[in-house]
Structure 1
Amino acid sequence: MTRKLLLPLLLAAGLAALPAAHAADDAWVLRFGAHVVDPKSDNGRLAGLKTSIDSDVKPSISLEYLITPNWGVDVLGALPFKHEVKLAGQKAATTKQLPPTLGVNYHFLPDAKVSPFVGVGLNYTRFFDSKGRGLLDGARVKIDDSWGAAAHAGLDVQLAPKWIFTADVRWIDIESDVRVNGARVGKAKVDPWVYGLSFGYRF
């Protein structure tokens, strides 16, 4: 079974395993903030050259549905992130990406002022507006979209009965084939850590 089929099935199984919902516990949390997508330091090789991808920060939004006080399902979105790609230390391309992520979270202390949580999920990253620069100036660059697993952890801090402050971190599995002028030149291994701060409103 391919990874593209396995990951959605695993997430579906996790959702099905959640406890039954209780109407009195249902709640939504809408969060606004900013996240940094920080690719790992070794991003593989393209055309035989060591590849590096820089970080970017953008405003973000997430919506979490609390099935029970402990269990929640959330989706993360953001404005497009822009990254510079270097080959052997030289600028070679730029690209933009959107990485919506769906996950299941477990909140350890939902009634406490400070509540840690962990989660797992599924990420889809769409790359677009990829352009050759520097070494590849004028070349047609295409980066394939990616499906991958995601892990999530963070802290909710209650500021008021309806307001919370959240600090969180995610690890996302992002690996994509790269093509230059139609020819595959390798796989970019992005696998970023994603750090975020946000304010949330519970309703």
Structure 2
Amino acid sequence: MKALLPVVLISTLCSPVVLAHDAGDLFVRGGFATVMPNESSDDVSGTGELELNNDTQLGLTLTYMLTDQFGVELLAATPFTHKVSTAGLGEVAEVSHLPPSVMAQYYFGQANSQIRPYVGAGLNYTIFFDEKGKGQLAGTDVNVDDSLGLAAQVGVDVNFAQNWFANASIWYMDINTDVHTTVGIINADIDPITFMASVGYTF
């Protein structure tokens, strides 16, 4: 929640133009999304569990308000790429993925409020591609299975001009996959926390 505070504080400097998230409204948010894996996995031949680094890419969400309080959101982004390593071997692979997600959302407050906090829950489908062996696995085949899991979010929209608003949101995604390598199949839970800071426009 601390990550959301700067957006809320900005509201003290904003004009009093209200934020209209009414039934039938369609709005987009665009900005930067950082994926921070919270990974755990099988031990890799006694060299430790798989570890993935963070990555930041462009994120985009599209939301349609079913009522003044309930909305449906689609999350998209440019591909995220992570270096994969173990404590004993160092970097062993690189993998890219896309995490499209669909969320059912509930917005607190009135439709004409300047600040609209919200929560959401839904499904995430993570598509892995461009897997490459590195270091000890250089030149070998590495394949990562796609994943379907639950997702949840909390966020806040803050209006600063007619039809324009700032946003900050935090996502949790349940990503479980099997990594196929020359040393066998490794089960991995990636389960990232994703933070997105963006600007939105209401149509």
Q: TM-score, normalised by structure 2?
A: 0.84
Does residue 33 of structure 1 match 2:31?
yes
SS at match of 2:136: helix
Task: Tell which has more relative contact order, 1 or 2 (C-alpha 8 A, sep 6+).
Answer: 2
What amino acid maps onto 1:150 in structure 2?
A
Q: Following TM superposition, by how much is the alpha carbon of 1:187 offset from its aligned partner in structure 2, in angstroms?
A: 1.0
Specify whether residues 46 and 177 from structure 1 end up closer, same or farther in structure 2 by C-alpha distance, changes over 3 A only.
farther
5+ long unaligned stretches in structure 2: 1-21
- Segments ≥4 residues shifted beyond 2 Å: 45-49
Match in the other structure for 1:65: 64
Summarize deviations over 1:118-151 as a string: whole Å, max 9, x none: 0001000000000000121111000000000000
Identical columns (%): 36
Match in the other structure for 1:116: 117
Name the CA distance, whole Å, in 1 between partners of 2:154 and 2:122: 11
SS at match of 2:105: strand
1:47/1:185 contact within 8 Å kept: no
Does residue 44 of structure 1 match 2:41?
yes
Match in the other structure for 2:10: none
Match in the other structure for 2:91: 91
Does residue 172 of structure 1 match 2:179?
no
Q: Following TM superposition, by how much is the alpha carbon of 1:46 offset from its aligned partner in structure 2, in angstroms?
A: 4.5
Match in the other structure for 1:13: none
Q: TM-score, normalised by structure 1?
A: 0.84
What amino acid maps onto 2:42 in structure 1?
R
Name the CA distance, whole Å, in 2 between partners of 1:45 and 1:91: 16
Q: Following TM superposition, by how much is the alpha carbon of 1:43 offset from its aligned partner in structure 2, in angstroms?
A: 2.1
Task: Give the aligned length.
Answer: 178
Summarize deviations over 1:12-52 as a string: whole Å, max 9, x none: xxxxxxxxxxxx72110111111001001x42225343211
SS at match of 2:50: strand
1:177/1:184 contact within 8 Å kept: no
Match in the other structure for 2:52: 53
What amino acid maps onto 2:137 in structure 1?
L
Structure 2 matches for 1:1-203, cutoff 5 A? 25-40=23-38, 42-48=39-45, 49-88=48-87, 90-109=90-109, 110-181=111-182, 184-203=184-203
